[in-house]
Amino acid sequence: MLGNSFDFQTVLPALDADEVSTIADVNGQAPGLAALMHRRYGCGIDVICLDSKGGFAPLPEAQLAEYMSALDRGGVDREAVRVVARPRRLGQYDVLISLNGFGAVHKPQNLKYVLDRALHPLSRAVIEIRKGSGSYPFLKSYGGCNTLKLPEDGANGLAVLSVEPQEDAKPAEGWAQTAQALAGEEGFFSELSEHSFLFVPRGGTLVVTFDNLDIAMTKRAERRPWGYGFIEAQGWSMLGVMANGWTWFRHQEVIRKFEELRDSGFFAQFSRVVFYGASMGGYAAAAFAAAAPGSTVFAISPQSTLDKSLVPWETRYRKVWERDFSGPFGDAALASRGAGDVHIMYDPYAALDAAHAARFTGANVTLWRCPLLGHRLGSSLQQMGVLQEIACGAIAGDLTPHRFHQLLRKRRGFPRFQRELANLALDRGHPGLAKQVCTYILRQRDDRFFRRLKDRL
């Protein structure tokens, strides 16, 4: 069985998850991975009990007892485990695991009832796949699959499913009216097929941001583009570029619009132009800075490109691999060389993010290391209350390494950093050091995660 031999440490980067609250293990076939994820994230574990047809049915007592014993040996608290043998107990999960089951032994289509109800828009599913099972065509309706281990003759493979919309999303309801009101009489709003451009004029500094429209309209109470409140508070002008889905802004309409803005002298009217974004938006910020030579780039956890011929090691974001990353705005590591200053913030322990950061080799690049804050370090820095000062310093050109590290010291009291520090010590074979971390945290506060981790150690 693959679950007994596969190195599950390779699964974690492919999940692209900084926080995991709940996981589901279908029929309890992956105690090693479940225990690893519980140790890393402190997540609860649901054991979903199904028969071969996908109907809910209790597991044999001996099988369930063996699974629980394996979790005990992995340091999982019994109260963190819940057995789900009835449909009404089924929840929604950040990660769903199906090993030695649907896709490997049973028809993957028989898992449809569970997938339809257990997955949310940011879920990941780890699924073992038998060659010729038809798993990939079936799973495609739920999202993009990153293959971690190819099926071989006599052996199964492993895939991580990213649950993302497979068709281009429609513009969010009410966005056009909201954007036109924000633009006012002095600005403009351009709605294209997959993207939109919102310009809000205020002052001599222009900040160009890149965002996913669905997140802006459904995940933020203020229904505003990335960085809107921060930019408004500084009195800066804003050009918000919004994508109707996970497009990485790779569409001719975006390229043509930036060329039009460049050629019309739009960027030239400002004393300072800044391109600002995170992850997908970070890629776009670095790539489209080429439209305004001499501009400043502030990119958080950016990809340099998703051209597989240039970054064959990138296993995430399969949905966009087929898009065209060629042209003058294609490879952000090259396109950003025409900028004045390029600030790249990344976590050196997030291996794929670090690999992308290493491709930015221009003389204008400053790499800012943010250890153990994960891919979504922008949200971490914001929760720590230091993102705005770091961004302002980088944009103004007066962010010094000394001041940056002073601000970054606040991560020592940040729960996500503390958990990752303990996990790193365990991953590298230093349980004594992990125990010291637990003792240090518990002196400051009573924390369930660290109390239980220390007890297990």
pLDDT confidence of residue 217 = 60
Distance in angstroms (rounded) separating the CA atoms of residues 454 and 439: 7
Distance in angstroms (rounded) separating the CA atoms of residues 38 and 174: 40
Domain ranges (residues) in the chain? 2-162, 175-411, 415-456
Quick check: 242 and 198 in contact, CB under 8 A? yes
Type of residue numbered 260: E
Q: pLDDT tens digits for 322-336?
A: 899 999 899 999 999
Instruction: Work out the pLDDT band at 166, boundaries 50, 70, 90.
Output: very low
Instruction: Work out the pLDDT band at 214, boundaries 50, 70, 90.
Output: low
Type of residue numbered 336: S
DSSP 175-222: HHHHHHHHHTTTSEEEE-SSEEEEEE--SSEEEEEEEEHHHHHHT-TT
Statement: residue 171 has pLDDT above 70: no
Type of residue numbered 428: R
Distance in angstroms (rounded) separating the CA atoms of residues 398 and 359: 24
Q: pLDDT tens digits for 351-374?
A: 889 999 999 999 999 999 998 888
Instruction: Work out the pLDDT band at 18, boundaries 50, 70, 90.
Output: low
Opening angle at CA 240, ends 224 and 293, nearest 5: 155
Q: pLDDT tens digits for 105-159?
A: 899 999 999 999 998 877 888 888 888 888 888 888 887 777 777 777 667 777 7
Give which of 406, 359, 354, 404 is closest to 375, Cα–Cα. 354
The predicted model scores a pTM of 0.76
- 175-411 homologous superfamily: Alpha/Beta hydrolase fold, catalytic domain (3.40.50.1820)
pLDDT confidence of residue 383 = 85
pLDDT confidence of residue 283 = 96
Distance in angstroms (rounded) separating the CA atoms of residues 8 and 319: 23
Q: Output DSSP code: residue 43.
A: -
Q: 383: left (phi > 0), else alpha (psi -120 to 50), else beta?
A: alpha
Give which of 17, 96, 113, 108 is closest to 56, Cα–Cα. 113
Instruction: Work out the pLDDT band at 265, boundaries 50, 70, 90.
Output: very high
Statement: residue 285 has pLDDT above 80: yes
- Determine the length of the chain: 457
Q: pLDDT tens digits for 230-250?
A: 888 889 999 999 888 889 999
Phi, psi (rounded to 5 degrees) for 66: -65, -40
Instruction: Count CB neighbours of 92 within 10 A.
Output: 12
Q: Output DSSP code: residue 331.
A: -
Q: Is beta strand 93-98 parallel, antiparallel or unpaired with respect to 119-129? A: parallel
The two structure tokens encoding residue 338: 């025409």
CATH number assigned to the domain covering 2-162: 3.40.50.150
CA 208 to chain centre: 21
- Report, in angstroms and rounded to the nearest whole number, the Rg of the chain calculated over CA atoms: 23
Distance in angstroms (rounded) separating the CA atoms of residues 200 and 411: 34
Distance in angstroms (rounded) separating the CA atoms of residues 272 and 80: 52
